[in-house]
A and B are shown apart, each in its own frame.
Chain A
């Protein structure tokens, strides 16, 4: 424990990252069980209340408490981003490991496919998937996962190519270690430092992508709150109720900045 704190003290990036993401994740976790007010209850008397101690971030056009909705929205955004990165990361490791280690014609085909996917702007690609499968939380996760997989494949693959001819792998092979064991027990642990950074970056991109998709009105649907959707709703009231747009906007900045610092911290630590 002491060692962890010592490290944090030295590594200011890590410290700031841990604090910022810590707060965000904590709020999101709390929102599962409790929010200061209901996130959907409307109140005509409290339409567009400015931020106050009663409503920390003010209220929106339906008199709903924005702080509660931001908490819930952060939870949704983090959950979706996590699932996207988990799915895309797992697929990335599997595909990247196999193609990187074995190479050959399959590698060639898979890489061209990832090139093709990379060629499209990610939002556009996700849009295509959503229009084919219909909107909704599940499909949003799947479509974003598809979009994010190629970047993981590339990183994992290049690491596997670098390590497959390393001396210790050669030795293991000579000793008759099974291929799967070499892949996932000998090589995989050694690429984690690089992989973690890309996971963090991927996580950030997933947050932005999810917000972007919700902003465009696809993905998670009302009355569920997500940060992107709140931002889009708030846009009509920019001058009359600026806090409505500021709250979800700054929350996205906070999340992305937190995870950026965290990934920078991890990179420097490694």
Chain B
């Protein structure tokens, strides 16, 4: 009896301690994990990922879930570090001419491809020409379309001339460098310069990468092998974590985190995702701005945060991350973070729907967070007379029908940001191919182009703030929040780094003794 009691006490203690650890991790928002113990080289890690990859060709891949994996295999001339700033990768130095039209890259001496060959100026020229469309006319990376020519100055120097100056363009040079002429095989045998080399890929199962021994960064990576295992359901992820078949899972819900905090390291940081109830602006009755505004008023961001994120998210009202401080403008006062039912009802009446409307919310069912958010929002909208029906669909169906086909009324999803502030806003231009909400506003388009062309950072930020305001005023969509990233990692792993972009950098992860 006594023994049982002491075991119970010990358990309680563990629970209490675990709770503390979780809390400090979340509040301090550490950039890297604080695992104790010496790093050891070698070993393998299985990372759970949420979706299958769309392409192994780094220039063709568009899904965030693919890019987060390919980050380990490919590198550009420059790459983003954990602070969101650019560091040199394949290039050892870069210079931009004063008029912003000529970029000069000096290549690093000792960079090798996974196949053992040294990276030459030829490879860089080929990669940039392929990505920008100079090679065959189709630009694989649209932001690089502006490139006019890529010239080899000498063996270690490449000069890129662009059509128009843009201070954000340098971020596009994270585009992967691949061996010259390898474009045809990029899908089957991807070769890059990243810390890990591609080993195998099985659709619906996952992708395995192996250590790149000749990686240019000394001492990296630690691990010999990393498996990215596709886990479609968050419930399975929980079971897999407990059973030990995955070591790291980076997309925990708040409740899962609290369930795992005793046996795993739980780390949290703000993500680069803006979650929103996206409204198809071309679909009746949402083509009426008043209806869209009514939805914004009826939506209670605070309680979504409370129910789904455990109070750890940051409410937003437009498409910009609060962490990009210079460009972010606080707009939460426009519709409030709580619910304003009266105003919502009034707007619906003005729009000609005094008896409310019916709404269908499509959600990708593999994202537990979005499904739960949908349930909470459907309940909130009811109070304003908006009768919302939830329609969970499979991820591929969502991509096909909602994102590409734009056949939906409303959907809950997240859009991710890279390190450039314009990234989230570009998709809301009328003609953008990514404008899946069919937002159309001439003023917005005009100001966006001005922002892009502006060379003065202050002026640029000002334009960005204006278009965020337009997007919010016109209720292009009902923006909700920037959710936290919460990851679970085995106790004896360390070195995990959070990025302001959506990547899983495994090069710094290690097992401890």
Contact = CB atoms under 8 A, between A and B. Distances in A.
7 contacts: A42-B379, A44-B307, A62-B376, A221-B390, A223-B378, A236-B235, A237-B255
Interface string A27-42: 0000000000000111
B258 A44 contact: no
A222 B361 CA distance: 11
Contacts, number: 52
A40 to B, nearest CB: 5
B240 to A, nearest CB: 13
Interface string A45-84: 0010000000000000111000000000000000000000
Given A236-B235, A236-B238, A236-B253, A44 B303 contact: yes
Nearest to A38: B379
B141 to A, nearest CB: 35
Given A40-B379, A42-B303, A42-B379, A217 B392 contact: yes
B487 to A, nearest CB: 17
B389 interface: yes
B204 interface: no
User: At the interface, is chain B mostly helix, strand, loop or mixed?
Assistant: helix
Given A44-B306, A221-B389, A222-B390, A236 B255 contact: yes
A41 B383 CA distance: 10
Contacts of B368: 236
A31 B208 CA distance: 52
Given A42-B303, A44-B303, A62-B375, 14 more contacts: A40-B382, A42-B307, A42-B376, A61-B255, A62-B376, A217-B392, A222-B371, A222-B374, A223-B375, A223-B378, A236-B238, A236-B368, A239-B259, A240-B255
Contacts of B372: 61
A232 B253 CA distance: 15
State which size class the interface on A falls in. Answer: 10 to 19
A40 B131 CA distance: 50
Interface string B278-308: 0000000000000000000000000100110
A51 B272 CA distance: 39
A190 interface: no
A240 B255 CA distance: 9
B307 A236 contact: no
B241 to A, nearest CB: 12
A232 B365 CA distance: 13
7 nearest interchain CB pairs? A44-B306, A235-B235, A222-B390, A240-B259, A222-B375, A40-B379, A221-B390
Interface string A200-238: 000000000000000001000111000000001001110
A236 B234 contact: yes
A69 B306 CA distance: 22
B391 A221 contact: yes
A62 B378 CA distance: 13
A154 to B, nearest CB: 35
A164 B378 CA distance: 57
Given A42-B307, A61-B307, A236 B259 contact: yes
Interface in A165-224: 217, 221-223
A47 to B, nearest CB: 8
Contacts of B238: 236
Contact of A240 (B258, B303, B378): B258
A236 B256 contact: yes
A232 B236 CA distance: 11
A91 B306 CA distance: 50
A248 to B, nearest CB: 15
A44 B380 CA distance: 13
Contacts of A135: 391
Nearest to A45: B306
B249 to A, nearest CB: 13
A108 B234 CA distance: 48
Contacts of A221: 389-392
A217 B390 CA distance: 12
Given A62-B307, A236-B253, A240-B255, A223 B365 contact: no
